[in-house]
Amino acid sequence: MSIIKQRGTLNKAINKAKTVFLMGHKDLDLDALGSSIGMYLLLKGKRKECYIVVDDLTHELGVEKVLRELEGCIKIIKSENVEKYMNQREAKNLLLILDTNKADLVQNKDLLKKFDNKLIIDHHDLSKSSIKDAVIINDTEVSSTCEMITELIEYYDVEIESYYATVLLAGIVLDTNNFTLKTNPGTYYAAYYLSSLGASAKKVQYLLKQDIEEYTERQKLLAGIETINGRIAITKATPYTIYRREDLARVADTLLFFNNIEASFVIGKIGKDTVGISARSLGNYEISKILEKLGGGGSDYNGAAKFEDTTISNVEKLLKNTIKEMGE
């Protein structure tokens, strides 16, 4: 259901609050950050005290650029300082989570215990691992959380500067892989609307520029592609390189551009003792159900899972067995 149709639920949660803390998922991307910034501006228009919580120590290039360019313009704090800024009346505090609905994926899981009032705005499918004690506004039909926030900005006629419109557009471009995945008329309209507010396509490309060394590392993942039924592509990294989740996701996006490939799974280390899977689909394979059986989740178009204290080879076997069991 569109966020506009759920605005009553949204307003009820927001109107009770005086202080709002916005938090995206770990390893911020431009959709999580862009939607947080867009919501921050909307809430400031409603005279709420707002803070964006960022604990990540390293950032992908686009996120790093935005955080650097907005330094001093938006209140960004670490989770360890949240209590210092909370309203004395607990009921007046709201934790607003964007671009994820799972406790294990937020910037800081411990923050969930500090708030009685929690609101989620997200476009990913809900699952058994979704946060249970939160008001959830979910629209799986949209391309991105940035698209959802753009809908709100237009509906409430919020004035935003062209730079902020550009960041929101970058989030949409990122999550649709430059309008090649999960787009509908609403996605193109959101892009048009942001352009009418001054969003710069040239600046979007600047934010999405990649580091050449990281690009080269990602290309190594394309060396050992296997296919199942000629339609599902699987590739895995060596155990000697640690990738960011976004790196695996970009490779999964790339695999969908090969002939006949309708779903892709990329396996690699995302931490010293953590193996991750990033998956993408054109919508014909229910990758979310495959990932849920592996402890992850997502939507019909994208998703992920992670595994602790195991090997890439073991995860590969698990994935292939699950795909076989589901008859894909």
Q: What confidence tens digit (pLDDT) does each residue in 96-145 have? A: 999 999 998 899 999 999 999 999 999 988 888 899 999 999 999 999 99
Whether 14 and 74 map to the same domain: the answer is yes
Are 73 and 128 in a shared domain?
yes
Same domain, 313 and 172: no
Question: Residue 328: its pLDDT value, please?
Answer: 62
Residue 22 and residue 157 in one domain? yes
Task: With respect to residue 258, please indicate whether it lies within any of the assigned structural domains.
Answer: yes
170-209 pLDDT, tens digit per residue, is 999 998 888 988 899 999 999 999 999 999 999 999 999 8
Q: Are 116 and 91 in contact (CB under 8 A)?
A: yes
The pLDDT assigned to 214 comes to 77
Domains in the chain, number: 2
Boundaries of domain holding 89: 7-207
Q: Which two tokens stand for residue 252?
A: 């999964």
Do both 131 and 264 map to the same domain?
no
Helices (H), 128-278: 145-155, 162-175, 185-196, 201-207, 212-220, 245-255
Q: What is the CATH number of the domain that holds 250?
A: 3.10.310.30
- Would residue 151 be called left, alpha or beta, if left means φ above 0 and alpha means ψ between -120 and 50 degrees? alpha
Cβ distance 198 to 186 under 8 Å?
no
Dump the DSSP string for 41-95: HHHHHTT-EEEEE---SS--HHHHHHHHHTBTTB-EE-GGGHHHHS-SSGGGEEE
Q: Which residues of the chain have pLDDT under 70?
A: 328
**51 & 144 share domain:** yes
Token pair, residue 65, equals: 């650029």
pLDDT at 187: 97
Looking from the CA of 143 toward its CB, the CA atoms found within 13 Å total 29
pTM of the model: 0.85
CA 136/CA 96 separation, integer angstroms: 10
Q: Tell me how far apart the alpha carbons of residues 191 and 168 are, in angstroms, rounded to a whole number.
A: 9
CA distance 217 to 241: 9
Give the model's pLDDT for residue 224.
86
Is the CB of residue 267 less than 8 Å from the CB of residue 276?
yes
